[in-house]
Structure 1
Amino acid sequence: MLYFSRWKTFLIWFAVAVAAFIAAPNLFSDEQLEALPSWVPHKKVTLGLDLQGGSHIMLKIERGDIVRERLETVVGDVRTTLRDANVRYSGLSGSGQTVQVRITDPAQLQAARAALQPLTEPVSGGALMAGSVTELTLSDDGSSVIRLVLTDQGIDYRMSSAVGQSIEVVRRRVDELGTTEPLIQRQGTDRIIVQVPGLQDPERLKSLLNQTAKLTFRMVDVSMSATDAINSRPPATSEVLYSTDDPAIPYLIERRVLVSGENLVDAQASFNQQNNEPVVTFRFDSRGAQRFAQATQQNVGRPFAIILDNQVISAPVIREPIIGGSGQISGNFSVQGANDLAVLLRAGALPATLTVVEERTVGPGVGADSIRDGVMASIIGAVGVVAFMLIFYGSFGIMANIALAANVIMILAVLTLIGSTLTLPGIAGIVLTMGMAVDSNVLVYERIREEVRSGRPLLQAIDSGFSRAFATIIDANLTTLIAAVVLFYLGSGPVRGFAVTLSVGVITTIFTAFTMTRWLIAAWVRRYRPKHLPKSIRTGIFDAQNVRFMSIRRYVFALAATLCVAAVVGFGTIGLNLGIDFRGGSIIEVRAKQGEADLAEIRSRLSQLNIGEIQAQGFGDSQTALIRVPTQDGGDNAEQSALSMVRGELADQYEFRRVEVVGPAVSGELTRSATIGVIASMLAILVYIWVRFEWQFAVGAIIATLHDVILTLGLFIFTGMEFNLTSIAAILTVVGYSLNDTIVVYDRVRENLRRYKKMPLPVLIDASINQTMSRTVLTGLTTLLALCALYFFGGEVIASFTLAMLFGVLVGVFSSIYIAGPLLISFRLRPDIFDKEEEKSEKEGVASKASA
């Protein structure tokens, strides 16, 4: 295994060189990259919104709006169809998903049914839905009432069409803001995610996205006054609408649309030449210009209304026919208001109202702080790990550090290539990978030392060390990878970023351990022809240890059980301090523009808004405060209203640095997906260990891991730390790390069971734990070093996330010894199961030879 052909050597270093070439642009600013030649890669790792600032908004199309609009359309179609067929009717109405009409003359029932039948013909689903779609079904009860029912399939079709159309409209609106690289994509059947990095004014973005922007030009009904229409009953062909003025002015507007916004080809903000007020000029296409000219010619002297989203912007009197196909809209606009209206009209109308169900906005200042803290934590963590390896392994430590550097370079290169978004938890994933990456090297080095101690020559010991460590490294890292993959598929936002970096880190770690490290050791052997291990290796201090862990297993097991019961009881009585991810509401980080943040004043001012019990606490420095607003009873729109009130109350004295709003619908989904994620990862890992080991090992590993999860939850319960999505990421990382540690011990137990078949099981487990003690201590300490750097220097945002992982690592080491080990004794594990496996493999070998 120590022989490397020239082409293998070339490929190893070529891969590292290419990775460095791809990752290099991340060291330069955008201006510096522009000055470099075109053949130099310019692509960098995409920074998440928490690192560069910007907004993440999740919009939901309301199914009720689609049903309501479709119902109105069907009512209109029925009215027109029956009139054209000269069928007399009454009681035409729509409710729920049903339109019903009573045919006055029973003799015309068959004619009515025949006239309405074409409305029920299937329509092509196109690329959205396979085959055709039946949107309406027609039925009657034998009397004179005909019912048309909207099918669920038809509504789903309209929903899917509306989402697709909305994405295009949203994209045009966002592009008008001049932002760079916005991300707009569909999520599920009724949601759209909008991510706009570097956005300075999230409120303007939400205002643009919240408006449907359905523009219509309609005549004002002068047959009666708006007041009389409100007090009595307006004509069937008209409705009362209100202006955008304060106070609002009612108008009686005809339902018939003269021209709609669909006929607009351009809209621009400008100024009225007479009074210099901001206005919006518009221009119709040829069809719209013709219809507008015809309408104004026929109604000279009458007022007409310009209506946007059922609000009257203005209602001027037609003084003369407007035949040029253009005009202007005035309505006491501000300059930005005129600009925004022009943007809305140019982008087109949304097919339905979009509701903001989740918002995460980070100011550029917070992003810069996060980058600084993340880089500082990474550097300190890396220095700690490098120094640690040098102290304990000397020249072998240098090789491990070279492999670690190649590992980090490859992680950055892969993240750059796949276009993954690097978030602050993602940086935490890289730092954690640095701590765990040396685990593979430690496993190999300690295996080599064991082989040397057993009397093997150095070359054979090195070769055997790599071979024996291979399976353990694969098993240990794959369990972490399983947890990371589950996190990716069931997580969202920053949690996904953490999962991606952790997954990539696991893969690059395995690669560097079995190529880079092995090549470096092979080069060392060829150059120096050593007969002994380097004297700079100082892990021999663990060799003389013979700790009898199992002698106190009953007491420790009882203590662990007591702590787990306390955590479960605490969960039922005290409960978790759930963050907004799981219970909805808002988190707002503000910084005082002058002086310190006055928490008492913030609570006092916001308590007057009647938006629930407000929590305000210090966050980081004395200028910064973190405000928590509870979830509102009025649903997702109420969450946005509460946020607007908080902004209005505090904007004069405080800068809004970070805003997170999660509506009740999203919080419920996040709770469900988080629970499924933890259960799914545990089951997947159970299946993997069951396949790779015996059932006793699989069940023992899962019970030990459940112990770690329960105690980590206990940490959140009894400290009152907020439990949010990143806490789930921390727990699943603890699951991966704990299993990593347990599998290393179990792998040695299994090996010793084959070797020492007469040894009592408690003694054998003690021996296995002592033999792997150097690996457990060294890997645990390097991981703790990296996590401590994150905790103390990574910033306030991920402090609880890191603390949970710190606690989990310690608990994971404990459970690998005092939970996983005693469970094997309780299961009465014996070596005869391996005898059966060997007999089975021997029989299969004989059978294969006989058939050959």
Structure 2
Amino acid sequence: MQGKGVVKFFLVVMTIVTLVQYFFILPTQKVEKAAEEYARTSTSNLSEDLQKTAFKMKRAEFLDSMSSEEVFKIPLLKSYTYQELKSQQLALGLDLKGGMSVVLQVDLRQFIRALANDSKDPTFEEALNRASQAQKTEQADFVSLFFDAWNEVKGDKKLAPIFTRNEALRDEINYETGDGEVVRVIRAKADETVDLTFKLLKERIDKLGVTQPNVSLDASRDLIIVELPGIDNPERARTFLEAAAKLEFYNVFRISDPGVQQAFIEANQRLAQTMSGSSVDREILRIDTTFATDSLGNVIAGEITSIDTIYGSASQSGPLFEALTLNTTGAQGLAVLGFAKKNQRRYIDSLLAKPDVKSLFPRDMVLRWGKDPMKDFETNEVTDNYELYALKPSRDGKAAMTGDHVVDASANPDPQTNEVAVSLKMDNTGAKIWGQLTTEAAQDNNREIAIVLDDEVVSAPRVINPILTGDSQITGSFSIQEGKDLANILQIGKLPTDTEIIQESLVGPSLGEENIRNSTIALTIGFVLVLLFMIAYYGGGGIVSILALILNIFFIFGALASYGTVLTLPGIAGIVLTIGMAVDANVIIYERIREELREGKSLLMAVSDGFQNSYSAIIDANVTTLLTAFVLAYFGLGPIKGFAVVLIIGVLSSLFTAVLVGRLMIDQWLKNKDRSMSFSTGLSKNAFADLSIDWLGKRKMAYIISGAIILAGLVSMATRGFELGVDFKGGYSYNVTIEGAEVEASALRSALTEAFEGNEPIVKSVDTENTYNVVTDYLVESTDDDADKKVMMALYNGVNSIAGGNIDLEQFKAPDGNGTHVESSSKVGPTIADDIKSSAFYAATFALLLIFLYIFIRFSKWQYSLGAVAALFHDTLVVMGIFSIFHGILPFSLEIDQAFIAAILTVIGYSINDTVVVFDRIREFLNNYTKSSKEEVINSAVNSTVSRTIITSLTTLFVVAILFFFGGASIRGFAFALLVGILVGTYSSIFVATPIMSDLTGELRAKDTKSDKKGFSKAAESAR
């Protein structure tokens, strides 16, 4: 093999990198074990009903305090904080860990209205209304839909005058600007706002205390996808995610103001006295609890709203100054009172919030931390410290000015000093307020004004002169990017962009644990079955394939971790499927080596030629699978995108381990002339020998069978339809566990129909005992802010009426609750449901088109492409037909959802993989046997590939069947689609793709009276 040194080099490098990736788990686990021990100790004296929630909060608090602490160091190379280590490890998705997932739509309707200064133009309003309606059924972005709607209703009106009222747009839009240019400007502003909203949301989520959140932006559809593993307060998360950014301007206290520095010194002394008396660390746990009461005032439920921990040890310097460094020199600017590390901020806040300490400071002082890490005064390098500021609210307790009055902000270098300055422009009201504010600040010894976003100080510029025009500049040691970011943040006051949750999923931790257990069992059993089969069939070669497969899985998990992939249930399915498909390259190679050996070649020559003659089929087969995976990754959302990423990594890793590393291992073994290697056993030596089947002669029967199945499926689709999941029709889906009562699905359906005001839900029993899946479109199109709560309340009333009437509401809503409760839930709005349907259609269409083009390029004949695509249509229609015919009949869900689309595209990839191998052998035989008829050549080629087709299908079926039986209800429909697809794909390669290609192709050569009987005999012999 050429390039052995290169293969060895990459093998060593990849192994080292992957081992390091796995090694990162050890120090991370050490920190997490310490967090659990800390949480357990801190909450041991609490009552049982509060302990569970308190434990989670204390654990999260400990991990947050360790986030910026160095916990691992590679000598001479790099040190890692806990957060850095955690970000380089494989994160578990919601369906494996429990938690919350939402898809947020950025509200560009309100954004466009704000750009038009809330114009009341009726034509403008009509265009906005039409765009909102179109957004529910079309996939285009809102700005494009608005422009289309405007063109429909505008008459002889122009768009520009509506937007010239906005001072910030006058430099880009005037009365003569054409509609197309106006929309281009709006689109550019919208893109900036969506991106800014995304960045602000990511920063907000860090405050939720969620470990390894996953936030991504789908810019083409103005969607933000958020996954929050382990979140235990969904209502708080919803409020947090949908709230608009709050930009405010405040006067500040200075460290040099009378009594400020002294207050800190006295606070430190007082804390040293109250926390002294013991040489060991002391901890004070303060729990604030809100209580719910009934109509008589009796307490019926309690909920922890906050937990503050005050810890530290008494020392000569005092507990406050051990964590906080006062800015006594004023080097960081007089507005900075002090600075501390990120993980010390909560501790400092808890100390300064103590009543006896807080009384030492001015009553109107509000302490706030800087948004970003501070820079070193001398080197200008970013440190790990954060600055502490003291805001001075107005007499009414509010900010001096809000961001609503900022109409424009931009960042540009000063041409004279090259210093980056952020320019601000205010509206008329803002200019008056800003003029008064800056006048007072300038007169008060050039005092600073703090710019605060979501209660964090983003900047505190010093005012040199009063600014009366509404135009001002903020200067500082900004880089170009930092200046631009600050300008974007300041523009949030001018560009209000609310976010709306259009899809939501909530999974309880117990369901996640069950999914992990089931998936691990499926993965293990499937893996063992494949190993046993490969050894039993290929002997010594099977051992090499096993080693390559183990290495493959080793690399796959390492790569997924290094890329920060979130592993979901479909992702595990992708790994299971990869195990089955990974042996395909080995099978192609080993079958070819066996052929070469039967021709009488030496072992070394057979190995060399076997690998060489297999590359074409392997490359074609894997490229077509990758094409479908890339399409799925592009069009998929959330877990489906994760499935595609796993499949892509799995295919690439399989090619490296099976082809290159496998060849390297075989060559190294055979390097010693005394060694040998078998590629068959007594059981497999004569398997599929002497095949001489007239496959093409059976094509009419195959056409009849396939046509009948497809016709039955089409009739069922037209009459019975499909069991559409909420992904495709919109609605709410709940998994409800009912304890203490035997409930029939029909009875629960009747009770819920009444609770849902006559809207009959779909109620199905899940394979977990006493668990039911409830799907309803009740209030799904409601625009009320509390629609979700109304649906949950109706669900509670319906379940409560049939399950005894004494269910606790709070426990019922909690995904980790006890007794009867909602174990998981999801909501898909009509907008995202239509988006998912459109994405599925485009994904399937593009996958088929790409495959057609690839095969056309590789085989240079459209007949091959059309035959392959016809087989793919056949496979898709058969699988869809079976799902339509048997839904409601088979004892498991056959929903059409995103996972089903992933299964269909996977089937397309698998089927084309098989078809390409057959076509590759047909092309080879047509070139080698030129004296025989087309039918003879094609039959012989198919006969020679039957062994590979059956073996690959068997190994893949092993793991998919295990996934089907042991993977649990959440993935059973997905696995069933793969099972059917693999069987149908294997059939269609021989009985659909090949015959259609043959029927479309004329006789490829003039018939010769002499036949290649001798050659075909040799080929048949080779097939043994």
1:583 to 719, 724, 729: 729
Q: Give the Cα separation in 2 of the matches to 1:179 and 1:384.
A: 38
1:457 to 588, 594, 602: 602
Contact 2:872 2:911 in 1 (8 A): yes
Higher alpha-carbon deviation: 423-432 or 598-607: 598-607
2:928 to 755, 770, 786: 755
Q: Which residue of 1 aligns with 2:763?
A: 616
Q: Which residue of 2 aligns with 1:822?
A: 995
Q: Which residue of 1 aligns with 2:208?
A: 177
Q: Which residue of 2 aligns with 1:406?
A: 551
Q: Which residue of 2 aligns with 1:38?
A: 73
Q: Give the Cα separation in 2 of the matches to 1:726 and 1:294.
A: 49
Matched, 1:661 2:835: no
Q: Which residue of 2 aligns with 1:503?
A: 648
* Residues 1:351 and 1:607: Cα distance change in structure 2 (over 3 Å): same
Higher alpha-carbon deviation: 181-190 or 508-517: 181-190
Contact 1:597 1:622 in 2 (8 A): no
Match of 1:716, as an amino acid? F
How far has the Cα of 1:833 moved from its partner? 11
Q: Give the Cα separation in 1 of the matches to 2:792 and 2:919.
A: 56
Match of 1:55, as an amino acid? M
- Using structure 1 for the length normalisation, give the TM-score: 0.73
Q: Give the Cα separation in 2 of the matches to 1:293 and 1:725.
A: 47
Q: Which residue of 2 aligns with 1:441?
A: 586
Q: Which residue of 1 aligns with 2:792?
A: 644
2:871 to 698, 704, 713: 704
Matched, 1:203 2:369: no
Counterpart secondary structure, 1:616 = strand
Report Cα offsets for 1:40-70 as digits up to 9, x if no partner: 9763212212111111112223334335555
* Residues 1:98 and 1:517: Cα distance change in structure 2 (over 3 Å): closer
Q: Which residue of 1 aligns with 2:944?
A: 771
Match of 1:38, as an amino acid? K
Equivalence map 1:149-188=2 (5 Å): 152=183, 156=187, 159-160=190-191, 162-164=193-195, 166-167=197-198, 170-171=201-202, 173-188=204-219
Equivalence map 1:156-555=2 (5 Å): 156=187, 159-160=190-191, 162-164=193-195, 166-167=197-198, 170-171=201-202, 173-188=204-219, 190-212=222-244, 283=366, 288-289=393-394, 351-529=496-674, 533=678, 536=681, 538-555=684-701
Q: Give the Cα separation in 1 of the matches to 2:397 and 2:4.
A: 81
2:841 to 675, 681, 696: 675
Report Cα offsets for 1:4-56 as digits up to 9, x if no partner: 75675454344334434434556997237889953397632122121111111
Q: Which residue of 2 aligns with 1:303?
A: none
* Residues 1:132 and 1:197: Cα distance change in structure 2 (over 3 Å): farther
Q: Which residue of 2 aligns with 1:570?
A: 716
Q: Which residue of 2 aligns with 1:48?
A: 93
Report Cα offsets for 1:605-641 as digits up to 9, x if no partner: 4223335211222112222111111264634658625
Match of 1:97, as an amino acid? F
1:66 to 96, 106, 111: 111
1:120 to 138, 157, 164: 164
* Residues 1:530 and 1:672: Cα distance change in structure 2 (over 3 Å): same
Contact 1:357 1:636 in 2 (8 A): no
Match of 1:658, as an amino acid? S
Matched, 1:57 2:224: no
* Residues 1:398 and 1:119: Cα distance change in structure 2 (over 3 Å): closer
Q: Which residue of 2 aligns with 1:727?
A: 900
Match of 1:768, as an amino acid? A
Q: Give the Cα separation in 2 of the matches to 1:548 and 1:805.
A: 29
* Residues 1:620 and 1:476: Cα distance change in structure 2 (over 3 Å): same
* Residues 1:5 and 1:425: Cα distance change in structure 2 (over 3 Å): closer
Q: Which residue of 1 aligns with 2:465?
A: none
Report Cα offsets for 1:196-255 as digits up to 9, x if no partner: 221012122113334558799xxxxxxxxxxxxxxxxxxxxxxxxxxxxx99xxxxxxxx
How far has the Cα of 1:702 moved from its partner? 0.9
Q: Which residue of 1 aligns with 2:968?
A: 795
Contact 2:217 2:223 in 1 (8 A): yes
* Residues 1:626 and 1:271: Cα distance change in structure 2 (over 3 Å): farther
- Segments of 5+ residues of structure 2 without an aligned counterpart are 35-70, 75-79, 127-159, 249-293, 296-336, 338-344, 357-362, 368-389, 401-451, 458-491, 800-808, 813-818, 888-893, 1009-1024
Q: Give the Cα separation in 2 of the matches to 1:96 and 1:769.
A: 66
2:977 to 804, 815, 835: 804
How far has the Cα of 1:169 moved from its partner? 5.2
- Segments of 5+ residues of structure 1 without an aligned counterpart are 76-92, 100-115, 126-130, 140-147, 217-245, 248-264, 274-279, 296-341, 836-852
Counterpart secondary structure, 1:181 = coil
Report Cα offsets for 1:286-332 as digits up to 9, x if no partner: 7851676999xxxxxxxxxxxxxxxxxxxxxxxxxxxxxxxxxxxxx
Higher alpha-carbon deviation: 604-613 or 772-781: 604-613
Contact 1:356 1:640 in 2 (8 A): no
* Residues 1:98 and 1:202: Cα distance change in structure 2 (over 3 Å): closer
Q: Give the Cα separation in 1 of the matches to 2:933 and 2:522.
A: 46
Q: Which residue of 2 aligns with 1:785?
A: 958
Q: Which residue of 2 aligns with 1:627?
A: 774
Q: Which residue of 2 aligns with 1:687?
A: 853
Aligned residues: 689
Matched, 1:16 2:15: yes
Q: Give the Cα separation in 2 of the matches to 1:674 and 1:372.
A: 30
How far has the Cα of 1:357 moved from its partner? 0.6
Report Cα offsets for 1:703-735 as digits up to 9, x if no partner: 111111110111111112211011111011111
Contact 2:632 2:843 in 1 (8 A): yes
Counterpart secondary structure, 1:193 = strand
Q: Give the Cα separation in 1 of the matches to 2:745 and 2:823.
A: 16
How far has the Cα of 1:497 moved from its partner? 1.0
Counterpart secondary structure, 1:726 = helix
Q: Which residue of 1 aligns with 2:417?
A: none
Q: Which residue of 2 aligns with 1:558?
A: 704
- CA RMSD in angstroms comes to 4.1
Q: Give the Cα separation in 2 of the matches to 1:12 and 1:507.
A: 14
Counterpart secondary structure, 1:819 = helix
Percent identity of paired positions between Structure 1 and Structure 2: 32
Counterpart secondary structure, 2:822 = strand
* Residues 1:183 and 1:123: Cα distance change in structure 2 (over 3 Å): farther
Report Cα offsets for 1:440-484 as digits up to 9, x if no partner: 111111101111112222221111100000110000111000000
Match of 2:690, as an amino acid? A
Q: Give the Cα separation in 2 of the matches to 1:418 and 1:160.
A: 26
* Residues 1:343 and 1:176: Cα distance change in structure 2 (over 3 Å): farther
Contact 2:756 2:795 in 1 (8 A): no
How far has the Cα of 1:418 moved from its partner? 1.4
Contact 1:376 1:793 in 2 (8 A): yes
How far has the Cα of 1:504 moved from its partner? 0.8
Q: Give the Cα separation in 1 of the matches to 2:25 and 2:973.
A: 28
Contact 2:95 2:512 in 1 (8 A): yes
Match of 1:394, as an amino acid? G
How far has the Cα of 1:695 moved from its partner? 1.8
How far has the Cα of 1:138 moved from its partner? 9.1
Q: Which residue of 2 aligns with 1:251?
A: none
Contact 1:137 1:150 in 2 (8 A): no
Match of 2:394, as an amino acid? A
